[in-house]
Amino acid sequence: MSRPGAAAAELRAALGDTNLLCDAGDLASYAADGRGARGTPAMVARPASTAEVAETLRIAFAHGLSVVPQGAATGLVAAGIAGDGEEQLLLSLDRLNAAPQIDAANRTAEVEAGVLLSTLNAAAEPHGLGFPIDLGADPSIGGMIAANTGGARFLRYGDVRRNLLGLELVTAESEPRTLTLGAPVWKDNSGLALKHLAVGSSGALGIVTRASLALSRLPAARISALISLLRAEAALPLLERMEAQFDTLLTAFEGISQAAIAAALGHVPRLRNPFPDGAPPYAVLVELSGGRCVAAEWLQERLTDILAPMLEDGVITDAAFDDGGDLWAIRHAVPEGLRASGKVMACDICLRRGDMMAFRAEMIARLTKSEPRLKLHDFGHIGDGGMHFNMVWPESSGAFDPDAAEAARAMILRAVTQEYGGSFSAEHGVGPANARWYAEFTSPEIRTLAGKVQDLLAPMPLGRVDFGMPQTRNAE
């Protein structure tokens, strides 16, 4: 039985009066995530140190509360917000935000979990360095680890896992332990890879309180091009030519469907459409960058070598270039454009790259037949096989029918996993939002093993995802 009142008194004593929030007004600002999922906890604790995180967990568990860690609440799968109607303590990491320590010679940073990505990058920038994971939001480092954020420059820089050297983890046990896993060195094979269990765990295996991160050089030159293709199918041959020409100088290769780019251009007034003929049938945004040995003009010339023959052939119908952010602004405005176009049904999938366009054509055909009220507005990181295979239910389709929309999403995700061997969650993690799909697409054997691993690190109720089979955890 939970005793939130007694827990509150102890937490106030441990953290200070002002760092335990119980007032409805205070709680409201911790109640929603990046996709608008909502849940109000019984209270919010704001520890300021690893020791206070451990003490918060100890007190909460002793009083029968479950705990949900929260970073900057920019996640998209509801992993960092409390579930309504439950006795949950939300543990915000927003006060674990000491200034990042940059080791320029080692190209690493020591960072507390509540530090925002923008804060880390501001600290690294004077050294010519940055944490290279690029995404639309400004998450906390702890949240990025919990989600294993990928983003638009994965092709060059990888995900959080690849750039994580070590972390400090507080375990969800009745007497929480603080483990230091890994070290701020680039190569280390001196034991089991326990730190990797916490990466992409939706915050359910322990609370990451600090991390040693690998930094990358900031590029000395960077150019972008938004390329209009006659047909989506031309994207993959273009990708192959770009990789052969540029190898690691290619830092992004994004795809945007006609519906998605039209939604952005039509609903986000600050954008300028570089294409006089309207939204292209399919658009690809590429980015090239490199060290001081390359200049923007040089990159531009090498890019023209690739694009010119495809323009002549009519495969490419137009291309716009810049070395700033105007073209990226179009790409980043796509989610906003979709939201303005109707009710969005998101599918964060990953496929073998060679399957993407065949999958897309097949799903358009199936959707047209089974649920024509939903309109595909796909876009995403097609250079790495990642697609935001999002559908929009516009007002013109009549009243939103949630069951019909969910059935369409299920059709897409089943095809991804069962027919194409892809992933139903490429970069957002599991979280409550994907728990249904995790259960449907993960074998009982793997769920059983995952549940046992979760029980080892986090026998007490932490986070919003149970990776095991139903009713195997916390049954007491």
Residues 337-396 that bind a second copy (CB under 8 A): 350-354, 381, 384-386
Q: Residue 203 carries which DSSP code?
A: T
Site for a second copy in 435-464 (CB under 8 A): 437-438, 441-443, 445-446, 449-450, 452-454, 456-457
Figure out which of the listed residues 13, 99, 244, 308 binds a second copy, where binding follows CB under 8 A. 244
Q: Residue 152 carries which DSSP code?
A: T
| Kind of pairing between the strands at 207-214 and 108-112 | antiparallel
Residue 281, helix vs strand vs coil: coil
Q: CA 240 to CA 273: how far, in whole Å?
A: 27
> What are the angstrom distances between the C-alpha of 135 and each of 28, 153, 362, 466?
25, 8, 29, 27
Binding of residue 13 to a second copy (CB under 8 A): no
In degrees, rounded to 5, the angle at the alpha carbon of residue 129 between the alpha carbons of residues 163 and 226 is 85
Binding of residue 153 to a second copy (CB under 8 A): no
Binding of residue 38 to a second copy (CB under 8 A): no
Binding of residue 131 to a second copy (CB under 8 A): no
Q: Which is nearer to a second copy, 364 or 453 (CB)?
A: 453
Q: What residues does 226 pair with on adjacent strands?
A: 285, 320
Residues 6+ apart with CB under 8 A from 455: 468, 472, 473
Site for a second copy in 210-229 (CB under 8 A): 216-217, 219-220
3-state secondary structure 48-112: CCHHHHHHHHHHHHHCCCEEEEECCCCCCCCCCCCCCCCCEEEEECCCCCCCCEEECCCCEEEEE
Q: CA 105 to CA 192: how far, in whole Å?
A: 27
Instruction: Single out the segment in contact with a second copy by CB under 8 A; choices: 4-12, 21-29, 185-193, 327-335.
Output: 185-193
Binding of residue 429 to a second copy (CB under 8 A): yes
Binding of residue 475 to a second copy (CB under 8 A): no
- Among 89, 79, 181, CA closest to 140: 79
Q: Which is nearer to a second copy, 159 or 371 (CB)?
A: 159
The structure tokens 């969650």 sit at 425
**Length of the chain counted residue by residue:** 476
Figure out which of the listed residues 139, 142, 150, 342 binds a second copy, where binding follows CB under 8 A. 150
Figure out which of the listed residues 64, 83, 128, 266 binds a second copy, where binding follows CB under 8 A. 128
Residues 6+ apart with CB under 8 A from 461: 61, 66, 67, 172, 473, 474
Residue 376, helix vs strand vs coil: strand
Figure out which of the listed residues 82, 116, 147, 232 binds a second copy, where binding follows CB under 8 A. 147
Binding of residue 209 to a second copy (CB under 8 A): no
Binding of residue 472 to a second copy (CB under 8 A): no
Binding of residue 205 to a second copy (CB under 8 A): yes
Binding of residue 158 to a second copy (CB under 8 A): yes
Q: Which is nearer to a second copy, 342 or 380 (CB)?
A: 380
For the bound state, the minimum distance from the C-beta of residue 268 to a second copy, rounded and expressed in Å, comes to: 26
- Among 403, 387, 367, CA closest to 282: 387
Binding of residue 414 to a second copy (CB under 8 A): no
For the bound state, the minimum distance from the C-beta of residue 453 to a second copy, rounded and expressed in Å, comes to: 6
Instruction: Single out the segment in contact with a second copy by CB under 8 A; choices: 34-42, 43-51, 284-292, 330-338.
Output: 284-292
Q: Which is nearer to a second copy, 4 or 255 (CB)?
A: 255
Residues 6+ apart with CB under 8 A from 445: none
Q: Which is nearer to a second copy, 113 or 430 (CB)?
A: 430
Binding of residue 247 to a second copy (CB under 8 A): yes
Q: CA 279 to CA 258: how far, in whole Å?
A: 6
Q: CA 306 to CA 245: how far, in whole Å?
A: 8
Site for a second copy in 62-121 (CB under 8 A): 103-108
Binding of residue 308 to a second copy (CB under 8 A): no
Q: Which is nearer to a second copy, 114 or 219 (CB)?
A: 219
For the bound state, the minimum distance from the C-beta of residue 43 to a second copy, rounded and expressed in Å, comes to: 29
Q: Which is nearer to a second copy, 127 or 339 (CB)?
A: 127
Q: Which is nearer to a second copy, 81 or 204 (CB)?
A: 204
Q: Which is nearer to a second copy, 263 or 307 (CB)?
A: 307
Instruction: Single out the segment in contact with a second copy by CB under 8 A; choices: 34-42, 235-243, 266-274, 361-369.
Output: 235-243
